[in-house]
């Protein structure tokens, strides 16, 4: 008899784990509360416009490749990717910098802004590459069970970088505030302020400049479809519109789950839903972490998102755009230190129809705007509308075009939606941050300490936020379950 596994949620980490478990001979069933698969990487289609609802940056292509290779495939067997050039554009108050698609061109771009910075950047990127090789090719594939996992001959040599922060390191390399912002940007994916992120994480800068920004044809959701296709070929069964309301435990061992009011028996249970929510599906005595524990943790920001359909093509913008024309320090303070709606927020926008014409009707542009905000703050229609006006006016000024009369439709998504759609703790967008004290074995564990055969995966556990870490998280937990 095959062992049966119930997986709660269908985000990247669950999909990844489902594939590894099915390959090992488990009978795997995935239960997703929403109408579609992919978790935060859902797709929204309105009036001929297609949007990725969550992740949009395809970084670290080697991690995706390694995932598909584990099953005897290449990523290109499931979807096509194209390297973007420019990788992205960064808008400042009176300037715009395009980040090209090769290191040599990026060095030149830096040198044009600050004399001598190309050499400093090269040294920085060489170190970032070496950290990438240590972290992403090795250490991150360890399950976070023991502190000893972090101790390797290579990490010991880099100990100082775990205690220094990336903000300081960047400022030692370049002085121009625009270049500082560009080098601090990649670690924002890890969910904390650059000042609170260990310098070792400069491997994100290598992911950015060294490996480049790619775009899957059909958007990030194409990756979800590829993984679902692979999972189905391995025998995984999927059920959407299936909210799990309880994980049943007897004698400290999982017995099954309740889905849409029905009890279903399983040998093992893996939850890829937000860790905090997953624990609420258990009776109190089986929960490992208290409300106080979660409340003390540094969470990645929530986001105010807008999916907008414009009835014309836009000028002066790239596929990915960062609007760094206001004070980052102040915005970060209003996210992490004194949580409130930001006074003058930085924001991000993408227009995938610039490189993938199929994602908008002919002659039109789709737009995704993202304003990072503190998790758990008040979320009302008035606030959303007020902030849309704020960013769209700035967008018009900075890019030199009017767009407010060209809006076919707009849909917003914010804290309340993160909670209702994904059962997200405080409406966080991308999980628990990777700070020094929230790294590896210091994060909530993949395996329950209180219940046998109960496991967790995803962006609140090991290794952390982001799509590539989610793929790795699924592999790590499957490894523990197989053991
Ligand atoms: C706006 C935004 C932008 C982002 N941008 C990027 C980016 O550009 N690049 C990048 O790499 N990462 C990005 N991320 C982060 C990345 O999307 C996530 O880290 C990753 O997708 C998380 O995957 P996961 O498997 O941990 O969880 P999720 O994707 O959250 O999946 C969990 C699933 O569990 C389901 N679920 C919850 N409760 C239940 C229940 N009781 N029963 C059944 N199902 C349940 C949820 O509906 C959800 O589908 C972004 C995230 C957001 C929100």
For residue 138, what pLDDT band results from cuts at 50, 70 and 90? confident
Concatenating the DSSP letter of every residue in 322-353 gives EE--S-HHHHHIIIIIS-S--SS--EEEE-GG
- In this structure, are 439 and 328 located in the same domain? no
Cα of 423 vs centre of ligand 1, distance in Å, is 10
> Would 231 be classed as within a structural domain?
yes
Q: Ligand 1: which atom is nearest the Cα of residue 459?
A: 26
Domain boundary among 214, 237, 267: 214
Of all protein residues, the one whose alpha carbon is nearest to atom 48 of ligand 1 is 39
Ligand 1 closest atom vs CA 271:
34
Task: State which of 189, 214, 239 marks the end of a domain.
Answer: 214
Q: Report the C-alpha gap between 419 and 282 in whole angstroms.
A: 19
Cα–Cα distance, 225 to 239 (Å, whole number): 15
Helix-strand-coil split of the chain, %, nearest 5 = 45, 20, 35
User: Domain holding 281: CATH number?
Assistant: 3.50.50.60
Look at residue 450 and give its three-state secondary structure: coil
pLDDT at 151: 87
pLDDT tens-digit readout, 412-451: 999 999 999 999 999 999 999 999 899 999 999 999 999 9
Report DSSP letters for 166-185, one per residue. Answer: HHHHHHHH---HHHHHHHHS
User: pLDDT confidence of 87, banded at 50, 70, 90?
Assistant: very high
390 and 311 both lie in a single domain: yes
352 within 8 A of 272, measured Cβ to Cβ: no
Q: Kindly indicate the confidence band of residue 226, based on its pLDDT and cuts at 50, 70 and 90.
A: very high
Which residues lie across from 348 on neighbouring strands? 322, 370
Say how far apart CA 357 and CA 116 lie, in whole Å.
40
Quickly tell me which residue has 């930001």 as its tokens: 342
**The total number of residues written for the chain in this structure:** 483
Residue 397: per-residue pLDDT: 97
* Domain match, 241 and 384 both: no
Residues ≥6 apart with Cβ < 8 Å to 412:
304, 305, 306, 307, 384, 388
pLDDT at 396: 98
Nearest-angstrom CA–CA distance, 401 and 395: 8
Q: Separation of 297 CA from ligand 1 center, angstroms?
A: 19
Ligand 1 atom nearest residue 273's Cα: 34
Nearest CA to ligand 1 atom 31: 11
Asked, for residue 67, whether it belongs to a domain, the answer is no
3-class SS of residue 83 = strand
Q: Which two tokens stand for residue 293?
A: 């524990």
What's the angle, vertex CA 170, arms to CA 169 and CA 173, rounded to 5? 95
11, 282, 416, 432: which to mutate for ligand 1, most atoms within 8 A of CB?
A: 11
Nearest CA, atom 47, ligand 1: 422
Assess if residue 130 is contained within a domain.
Answer: yes
- Determine, yes or no, domain membership for 50: no
Give me the pLDDT at residue 251, please. 96
Distance 78 CA to ligand 1 centre (A): 21
Q: Classify residue 469: in a domain, yes or no.
A: yes
Say if residue 203 is in the same domain as residue 229. no
Tell me the mean pLDDT in the region 164-169: 95
* Res. 254: pLDDT tops 90: yes
Mean pLDDT computed over 319-338? 96
**Which atom in ligand 1 lies closest to the alpha carbon of residue 56?**
8
Q: Say yes or no: 236 and 308 in one domain.
A: no
Binding pocket residue ranges, ligand 1, CB within 6 Å: 8-14, 31-34, 39-41, 54-57, 243-244, 272-273, 277, 303, 305, 370, 422-423, 429-431, 458-459, 465-467, 470
The per-residue DSSP string of 222-274 comes to: HHHHHHHHHHHHTT-EEESS--EEEEEEETTEEEEEEETTEEEE-SEEEE-S-
* 198 in the same domain as 256: no
Count the domains in the chain: 3
Residue 323 lies in a domain: yes
Cα separation of the two ends of the chain: 18
Q: What's the pLDDT score for residue 331?
A: 95
Full domain range(s) for residue 142? 81-214
DSSP 300: P
Is residue 94 located within the same domain as residue 120?
A: yes
Q: How far apart are CA 244 and CA 260, in angstroms?
A: 7
Distance of CA 38 from the midpoint of ligand 1 (Å): 7
Q: Tell me, yes or no, whether 396 and 443 share the same domain.
A: no
Does one domain contain both 96 and 200? yes
Is there a single domain that holds both residue 119 and residue 206?
Answer: yes
- Which atom of ligand 1 lies at the shortest distance from residue 465's CA? 19
**pLDDT per position as a tens digit, 185-223:** 999 999 999 999 999 999 999 999 999 999 999 999 999
pLDDT at 150: 86
Question: Using CA atoms, how far apart are residues 300 and 336, in angstroms rounded to an integer?
Answer: 9
Judge whether residue 156 has pLDDT over 90.
no
Clarify whether residues 203 and 307 are in a common domain. Answer: no
Q: Is position 53 within any domain?
A: no
Residues 281 and 225 in one domain: yes
Domain-terminating residue out of 190, 214, 238: 214
Name residue 309's beta-bridge partners: 366, 409
Region of poorest pLDDT, from 159-163, 250-254, 429-433 = 159-163
Q: Is 203 within a domain? A: yes
């Amino acid at each position: 008899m095959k062992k049966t596994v119930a997986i709660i949620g269908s985000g990247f980490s669950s999909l990844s784990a489902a594939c590894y478990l099915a390959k090992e001979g488990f009978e795997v069933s995935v239960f997703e509360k929403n109408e579609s698969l992919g978790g935060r990487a859902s797709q929204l289609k309105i009036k001929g416009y297609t949007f990725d609802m969550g992740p949009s940056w395809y970084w670290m292509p080697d991690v995706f490749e390694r995932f598909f290779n584990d099953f005897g495939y290449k990523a290109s067997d499931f979807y096509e990717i194209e390297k973007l050039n420019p990788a992205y554009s960064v808008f400042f108050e009176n300037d715009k910098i395009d980040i090209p698609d090769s290191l040599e061109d990026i060095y030149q771009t830096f040198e044009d802004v600050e004399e001598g910075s190309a050499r400093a950047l090269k040294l920085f990127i060489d170190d970032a590459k070496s950290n990438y090789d240590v972290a992403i090719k090795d250490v991150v594939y360890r399950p976070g069970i023991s502190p000893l996992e972090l101790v390797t001959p290579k990490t010991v040599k880099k100990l100082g970088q775990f205690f220094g922060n990336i903000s300081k390191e960047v400022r030692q390399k370049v002085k121009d505030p625009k270049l500082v912002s560009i080098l601090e940007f990649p670690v924002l994916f890890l969910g904390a302020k650059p000042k609170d992120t260990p310098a070792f994480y400069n491997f994100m800068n290598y992911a950015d400049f060294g490996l480049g920004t790619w775009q899957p044809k059909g958007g990030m959701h194409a990756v979800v479809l590829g993984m679902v296709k692979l999972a189905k070929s391995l025998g995984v069964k999927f059920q959407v519109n299936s909210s799990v309301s309880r994980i049943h435990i007897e004698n400290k061992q999982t017995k099954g789950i309740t889905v849409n009011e029905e009890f279903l028996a399983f040998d093992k249970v893996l939850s890829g839903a937000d860790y905090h929510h997953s624990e609420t599906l258990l009776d109190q005595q089986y929960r490992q972490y208290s409300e106080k524990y979660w409340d003390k943790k540094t969470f990645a920001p929530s986001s105010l998102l807008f999916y907008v359909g414009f009835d014309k093509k836009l000028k002066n913008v790239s596929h990915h755009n960062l609007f760094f024309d206001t004070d980052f320090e102040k915005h970060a303070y209003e996210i992490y230190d004194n949580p409130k709606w930001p006074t003058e927020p930085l924001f991000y926008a993408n227009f995938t129809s610039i490189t993938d014409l199929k994602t908008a009707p002919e002659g039109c542009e789709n737009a995704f705007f993202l304003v990072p905000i503190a998790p758990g703050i008040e979320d009302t229609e008035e606030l959303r509308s007020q902030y849309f006006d704020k960013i769209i006016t700035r967008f018009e000024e900075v890019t030199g075009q009017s767009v407010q009369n060209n809006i076919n439709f707009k849909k917003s998504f914010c804290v309340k939606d993160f909670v209702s759609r994904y059962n997200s703790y405080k409406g966080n967008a991308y999980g628990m941050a990777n700070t020094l004290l929230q790294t590896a074995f210091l994060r909530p564990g993949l395996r329950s300490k209180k219940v046998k055969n109960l496991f967790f995966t995803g962006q609140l556990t090991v290794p952390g936020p982001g799509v590539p870490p989610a793929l790795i998280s699924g592999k790590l937990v499957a490894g523990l379950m197989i053991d």
